[in-house]
Amino acid sequence: MITAMTPMERVLSSLSHREPDRVPLFLLLSLYGARESGMSVEEYFSKADNVIKAQLQMQAKYGTDCYYTFFYAALETEAWGGKTLFVPEGPPNSGTPVIQKVSDIDSLWVPNIYEVPGIQRVLEVTRELASRAQGEIPLIGVVMSPFSLPVMQMGFEQYINLIYHDKIRLKKLMEINQQFCLDWANAQLKAGATAICYFNPLCSTDIIDRDLYLSTGYPVDSKTIAGIKAPVTAHMASGRALPIIDEIINSGAGAVGVGGSDNLTDLKKASRGKILLVGNLNGIEMTGWDSSTADKMVRNVIEKAAPGGGFILSDSHGEIPWQVPEDVLLAISHGVQKWGRYPISGMGEIV
């Protein structure tokens, strides 16, 4: 029987492709903290103390093996003067694109992250949680890939046109975004984050042609990941990882976020001993689960992906929706305790 581990020991063992005492659980609870705190999303993210208090409470309540310092994706566009649109019971959205026309890229600059109030709040949260964790609980910071960030900076249609038709400005935009990404990621690490979740939905073949990504975004991502001074999880925010798993491995990422529609059996074969899998409970479907369904889903995923280590149970998107019932999150936590103890025995798929 394996001696009980701290969350940090459990995660590091999994990252090294060894079997810890049990499967690590990452419940990536960002805006869910507003629900737990009885606040609006906008009020919740307006003060670092709100997020610190909620992260401490949710980690203890749900038994998750990390603190998650992510606020919302639109925060990054605030660095260029962009506005964030807050909505009830949902993730904040970016407002009017900061790049109105392609020629605006000519005068774009690399922002100073230390002059962005929202970013300063995230760093304050990170420093305080790191102090509380005392090295025993990992802190997961988040950045957007330089290749995916322009979807918020300029809108999807205009960005796709840029990729196809203006290689010079695309190169300049990637250089600016890459420097911003590295500044932002490494500032979080300096503040106490343990690892970086590198959100990159546009790299998934569910969105972009594989060959187009490999000739445009992949070199940018590989270079950026190499400049982040800690383990990186390449995360497609629900997109499938399997079609580009070899490239993700070769990019230098130590882990990969697995989409809800990914074939876990095939991914486990392709990733064994090479890259850690993180996923792949479907957060949207989770809103309609009951406790029994949650337990069954946890059991299925663990059997397919957990044997041999190299796996962390999480959702497939990187954020638990506000609408997921509290009982479902508790059932997921209990399910990991029940089914996730190593060694994992053959349980047979539950249908």
| Structural domains in the chain, sorted by start | 7-339 (3.20.20.210)
Q: Place 2 in a pLDDT band, splitting at 50, 70 and 90.
A: confident
| pLDDT > 70: percent of the chain | 98
DSSP-H helix ranges across 239-288: 245-250, 264-271, 283-286
The residue assigned the tokens 């798993």 is: 245
Contact (CB, 8 A) for 34 and 41: yes
Minimal CA–CA distance to 138: which of 46, 238, 76, 230?
Answer: 230
Any idea what DSSP says for residue 22? B
Contact (CB, 8 A) for 221 and 145: yes
Q: What are the angstrom distances between the C-alpha of 327 and each of 54, 200, 294, 333?
A: 17, 30, 9, 10
Structure tokens at 337: 């305790």
- Is the pLDDT confidence value at 7 over 60? yes
Contact (CB, 8 A) for 313 and 23: yes
- Is the pLDDT confidence value at 351 over 50? no
pLDDT tens-digit map of 230-274: 999 999 999 999 999 999 999 999 999 999 999 999 999 999 999
Mean pLDDT over residues 177-196, rounded?
A: 98
Contact (CB, 8 A) for 235 and 312: no
Instruction: State how far the Cα of 127 lies from the Cα of 120, in Å rounded to an integer.
Output: 11
DSSP string over 298-319: HHHHHHHH-TTS-EEEEESSSS
pLDDT tens-digit map of 204-225: 999 999 999 999 999 999 999 9
pLDDT tens-digit map of 297-327: 999 999 999 999 999 999 999 999 999 999 9
Instruction: State how far the Cα of 282 lies from the Cα of 286, in Å rounded to an integer.
Output: 6
- Is the pLDDT confidence value at 137 over 50? yes
Cβ neighbours of residue 225 under 8 Å, at least 6 residues apart? 198, 232, 234, 251, 252, 253
The residue assigned the tokens 């290749």 is: 147
Instruction: State how far the Cα of 182 lies from the Cα of 226, in Å rounded to an integer.
Output: 10
* Sheet-wide strand order for 276-281: 25-26, 311-315, 276-281, 255-257, 232-235, 195-199, 139-144, 67-68
Instruction: State how far the Cα of 19 lies from the Cα of 29, in Å rounded to an integer.
Output: 25
Contact (CB, 8 A) for 28 and 319: yes
DSSP-H helix ranges across the chain: 7-15, 32-37, 41-45, 48-62, 117-133, 150-154, 156-165, 167-191, 210-227, 245-250, 264-271, 283-286, 291-305, 326-339
Q: Which residues pair with residue 142 across a beta bridge?
A: 197
